[in-house]
Amino acid sequence: MVSDPEKLPGRSALIEFCHAAEANARDLISDAEVLLEKERWPRAFALAVLAQEEFGKCLMAMVLAMASPDVVSAHLHELRSGHIRKLRSALEHEALLGLPEGPPELLVSMDQIPEIARDGNDLKQWGFYVDISEDGSLRQPSEIGEREAKAVVARVHKVVHPPGGLHSVPFWP
């Protein structure tokens, strides 16, 4: 935690950070879509989750831009290392806006968010790494199939490219 308010990023730096994270989220989901076309399901899946996390980082930065220095000091580290917290931020945004559009079973409820964020972080890693459990069973990226990859890429695309754009969110400067 940084205690000296003079060493904290100011409002304009946090807003610039948010814009950069938003742009990167859109680049990541575009890359995921390219990988879908190449039928690279695990990597497309993982990049979509990274895009969602990056979008959550943008939202968190915007909130911190409006916060007092003590709040910025207490939460700034989460922008760099709080992967699950960033996913939670994106999921909370999604739930508040009722995204993605579609059947009610696709909507995320606020009470589901902590578990979904933890699972999302694990699944993101599954798209990149081979893992072994204590009992010796393997978990491989190749286990992520077309259906899972297409579903997560489509969902995250709707979040990072909402109709009207993020700039229509009321707190945006």
- 77 with 61: CB under 8 angstroms? no
Assigned architecture for domain 5-167: Up-down Bundle (1.20)
Query: Among 37-51, 109-123, 126-140, 145-159, which stretch is predicted with the lowest mean pLDDT?
Result: 109-123
pLDDT at 169 (0 to 100): 44
CA angle 120, 121, 122 (to 5 degrees): 90
Token pair listed for 26: 């859109």
Instruction: Tell me the pTM.
Output: 0.82
Beta strands in 30-170 (DSSP E): 131-132, 138-139
**pLDDT score at 107:** 56
Is 169 in a helix, a strand, or coil? coil
Sketch the domain layout of the chain as residue ranges: 5-167
Give 56's contacts (C-beta < 8 A, 6+ positions apart): 85, 86, 87, 88, 89, 90, 91, 93
pLDDT digits (tens, 9 = 90+) for 75-120: 888 888 888 888 888 888 887 776 655 544 555 667 778 788 878 7
Query: What band does 5 get if pLDDT is binned at 50, 70 and 90?
Result: low
Provide the token pair at 78: 């989460």
pLDDT at 100: 57
